[in-house]
C-alpha cells in the first residue's frame, strides 16, 4: 500500500479530512493523494502557493515572518499547514516549502525543505529535511516526507485516543 493510500485509509476510518498547501511540490502532493481511488472521501483539496505573496494573502502566513525569514522556514511551513486547514475546512493540514533548485532561495541551499502537519487539536509538527538529488528527486522526496509525517501523526493520534478510552493503561 502506498503512503498516500495508507493516509487516506486512516483518515477515512476516523471520518476526517486533509488539505494540502504546496510550494516547491507544485501540486504533486495533491496528485499523489488523488491518484488513490476513493480519495474524495478524505481529501478536501489543495492550494499551490508558489508565490510568496500567496502564502501571505491566501494561506494567512504572517507577512513579517515572510519578510524577515523568507518562505523557506519551519514556521512558514507550519503556518501554511494551519492556513490551508482553515481555508479548505479540513481536519488536518499539510504543507511543503523549500528549495528544489537549481539555485538557492532566500539564502537557503538547494535541498532545504520543511514539511508540516497541523491537526484537529491545533497542534503541529514540522520536519526539516536536507535532501540530495536533482529538482525532480527533491520534489518527490518532499511529497513522500510530508505524507509520512502525516501518517505518523495519525498513528500518534490513534494511540492517544486508545489510551484515553482505556483509562490511560
Residue 46 sits at φ, ψ, to 5 deg, of -150, 160
- The tens digit of pLDDT for each residue in 87-124 reads 999 999 999 999 999 999 989 999 999 999 999 999 99
**pLDDT of 156 strictly over 70:** yes
Count of beta carbons in the 10 Å neighbourhood of residue 92: 25
The pTM of this model reads 0.93
d(CA 128, CA 47): 21
**pLDDT of 162 strictly over 60:** no
d(CA 45, CA 57): 18
Domains, the chain: 3-165 (3.90.950.20)
- The tens digit of pLDDT for each residue in 122-143 reads 999 999 999 999 999 999 999 9
Count of beta carbons in the 10 Å neighbourhood of residue 128: 12
Residue 106 has a pLDDT of: 86
- The tens digit of pLDDT for each residue in 45-100 reads 999 999 999 999 999 999 999 999 999 999 999 999 999 999 999 999 999 999 99
Provide the total of helices (H) and of strands (E) in the chain, helices listed first.
6, 5
Question: Residue 150 in contact with residue 117, Cβ under 8 Å?
Answer: yes
- The tens digit of pLDDT for each residue in 3-46 reads 999 999 999 999 999 999 999 999 999 999 999 999 999 999 99
Amino acid at each position: 500500500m502506498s503512503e498516500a493510500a495508507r493516509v487516506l485509509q486512516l483518515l477515512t476510518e476516523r471520518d476526517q479530512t486533509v488539505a494540502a498547501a504546496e510550494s516547491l511540490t507544485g501540486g504533486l502532493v495533491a496528485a499523489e493523494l488523488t491518484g488513490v481511488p476513493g480519495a474524495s472521501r478524505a481529501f478536501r483539496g489543495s492550494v499551490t502557493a508558489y508565490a510568496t505573496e500567496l502564502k501571505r494573502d491566501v494561506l494567512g502566513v504572517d507577512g513579517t515572518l515572510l519578510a524577515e525569514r523568507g518562505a523557506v522556514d519551519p514556521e512558514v511551513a507550519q503556518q501554511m499547514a494551519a492556513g490551508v486547514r482553515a481555508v479548505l475546512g479540513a481536519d488536518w493540514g499539510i504543507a511543503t516549502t523549500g528549495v528544489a533548485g537549481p539555485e538557492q532561495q532566500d539564502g537557503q541551499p538547494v535541498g532545504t525543505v520543511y514539511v508540516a502537519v497541523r491537526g484537529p487539536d491545533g497542534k503541529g509538527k514540522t520536519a526539516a529535511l536536507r535532501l540530495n538529488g536533482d529538482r525532480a528527486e527533491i520534489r518527490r522526496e518532499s511529497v513522500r516526507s510530508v505524507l509520512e509525517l502525516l501518517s505518523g501523526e495519525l498513528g500518534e493520534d490513534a494511540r492517544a485516543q486508545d489510551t484515553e478510552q482505556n483509562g490511560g493503561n
